[in-house]
Amino acid sequence: MLNRFKSIALCLTLAGLPVMALAAEEGDAESWLEKMGRALREESYEGIFTYMRGYQFDTVKVVHKFEDGKEKERLLHLNGDQREVLIDGDTVTCRHEPGADVDLEREVSLGPFTHAFNENLANYQSFYDFTLTGHDRVAGRPAIRLEITPKNNDRYGYKLWLDEATGLLLQSHLISQGHVLEVFQFSRVDIGDPVDDSHLLATLTGDVVVHQLAPNEPDTATATAQARKPDWRVAWLPNGFRQVRTTSPNRILFSDGIATFSIFVEQGKSSRLGEIVTHMGGTVVITRRLKNTAQQITVVGEVPVDTAKRVAESVEPVIY
Amino acid sequence: MTDNLKESLSAWIDGEASEIEVHRLLRQFESDASLRPSWVRYQEVRSVIRGERRLDADIHLALQDRIRAAVDVEDTFDERPATLSRPGNRYIKPAVSLAAAASLVAAVLVGVNLTNRSPEPEGVAASNPAITAPAANAIGAGPIDAQPVSTGAARVASMDQESFEPDGQQLELRELSDEQQRQLRAYLNQHDRMVRMNPNLRTVIYEAPANQ
């Protein structure tokens, strides 16, 4: 009996150790988030991940290299039609076999976050709770678990598994009120080894269709954007969301530091889509007409549908 | 399959799995290759059962294809004799097969999702109350024309008070017409790209952005 008690006590002690170590040595959740943002851009890694968003699931081989301040990446889809996306700085090229209906697929970004985390938006702590929840193992690597819980149901929550050595995102769940909407997971990854440039070269060759996706916008467009104000405004944003990026007066990206959504306004072209409310995994797409005009507004992003609707409803024309 | 696992699976199919259970399912799949064939069969059985509930034929087929593909991959991935024998894709390269376990998990995830395309959305993605909420609501962004509007008109503004709305009529993107999908995906991709942009290079803040 005494022995049994001892072993229980021992178990409890051992179980407690990682938690104490976690608190003492590994910093806070916010610094892990910063580490993650940096790792997504600046680490070099090669691996295979799956990303399930609603009915679309992708298994993708990724090669990522950071060199001279520039990211290079190759994403090769392993399921379905042969497709490959090559990223070199701001240039994105898509290669696919003839006949593949790439318009019907969503391009793959690396998990749900990519650049969203290095925005340095102040006070996002006001809208989420961040908790380190322990250690785990993903793709054979020790991982640290992090939970991001919204204080309000107007946005989603996240569970993240970050590589302990580098902070790279190894796995994530996008959660809405306890239900998992999206799952991202590396099944294998090598991080930090030098990436051979040949691994970044296109592997789909021969009879393939190559199309360059427009770079995000040439710099001149940015300059123009600065000169031209949009003739619409958003009257309501969820608390903490701010305009963070725009490539033209017709597209603006908003973020609270964690979640993002974009608003597009098509000018001078009447909407053929009408009013649509739809979703793919945790991403909502809403179209409607701008008040008193024929212009189409589209709200796209990783926010609950009611939040997106309220935003869409609040967009209004501005007359200067 | 342990009782725990069965319970989790059942909860998931009913749209009631907790985060912990979802995680356990993922974990079990990864760690125990012998479970996969029975998972797949389980899914097939469920889909047949669900078939009584107006499972669309094309969705059913898509599900079957996914299952078949998953089994094929598994045949290659798992060297042991396959429980469900099918002409597998033997040419798959080792690098690809490494991903097979994970993609099978995803296939099953999607499978669960698909089997729940019944009038009462209950699947993983569909069970998000926010997402299955009726398209008609207080702020008035209406549904597309063809879509029956839920008459539960007055929606409470506070999301905290939302409950499951089993009559939610919101369509998934792929249920729209090809042309609509094409146009909407263009926005999706643009959004993804904006998110990906290097913020140091391209942030533009207007003087007085619309705010609050």
| The predicted structure's pLDDT at residue B84 | 38
How confident is the model over B174-198, as a mean pLDDT?
A: 80
Task: Pick the range with the lowest mean pLDDT from A51-60, A85-94, A285-294, B58-67.
Answer: B58-67
Q: Which residues of B touch A92 (CB under 8 A)?
A: 193
Nearest CB to B209 within list A55, A243, A280: A243
Assign B69 a pLDDT band (cuts: 50, 70, 90): low
Best CA proximity match to B35, nearest among B61, B6, B73, B63: B6
Is the model more confident about A249 or about B127?
Answer: A249
The continuous run of DSSP H or E covering B31 comes out as helix B19-31
Query: Residue B186 and residue A193: Cα distance in Å, rounded?
Result: 35
pLDDT tens digits for range B6-43: 777 666 665 566 777 777 777 776 666 666 655 555 55
Assign A292 a pLDDT band (cuts: 50, 70, 90): confident
| The predicted structure's pLDDT at residue A236 | 93
| The predicted structure's pLDDT at residue A4 | 54
Percent of chain A with pLDDT over 90: 33
Q: Closest approach of chain B CAs to the CA of A25, in angstroms?
A: 26
For residue A44, pLDDT over 90 is answered with yes
Task: Pick the range with the lowest mean pLDDT from B9-13, B110-114, B188-192.
Answer: B110-114
Q: Are A42 and A36 in contact (CB under 8 A)?
A: no
Nearest CB to B174 within list A48, A55, A245: A55
For residue B113, pLDDT over 50 is answered with no
Size of interface A-B (CB pairs under 8 A): 270
Is the model more confident about B204 or about A106?
Answer: A106
Nearest CB to A253 within list B128, B175, B195: B195
φ, ψ at A228 (rounded to 5°): -105, 125
B193 and A244 within 8 Å at the Cβ level: the answer is: no
Q: Which of A248-252, A276-280, B83-87, B144-148: highest mean pLDDT? A: A276-280
- Report the chain B residue with the minimal C-alpha distance to residue A285: B184
Nearest CB to B127 within list A59, A179, A187: A179
Q: Closest approach of chain B CAs to the CA of A39, in angstroms?
A: 14
Q: Is the pTM of this model over 0.95?
A: no
Helices within chain A (DSSP H only): 2-25, 29-42, 219-227, 305-314
Q: Domains in chain A and their CATH numbers?
A: 8-213 (2.50.20.10), 218-317 (3.30.200.100)
A104 and B178 within 8 Å at the Cβ level: the answer is: yes
Q: Which residues of A touch B137 (CB under 8 A)?
A: 306, 309
B172 and A244 within 8 Å at the Cβ level: the answer is: no
CB under 8 A, 24+ apart: contacts of A129-136: A130/A28, A130/A29, A130/A30, A130/A33, A131/A29, A132/A22, A132/A26, A132/A28, A132/A29, A132/A32, A134/A18, A134/A19, A134/A22, A135/A18, A135/A22, A135/A164, A136/A161
Q: Are B102 and A171 in contact (CB under 8 A)?
A: no
C-alpha angle with apex B7: B4 to B10, nearest 5 degrees? 150
B209 and A55 within 8 Å at the Cβ level: the answer is: no
| The predicted structure's pLDDT at residue B52 | 37
pLDDT tens digits for range A81-127: 888 888 888 777 888 888 766 555 666 555 555 555 555 544 567 88
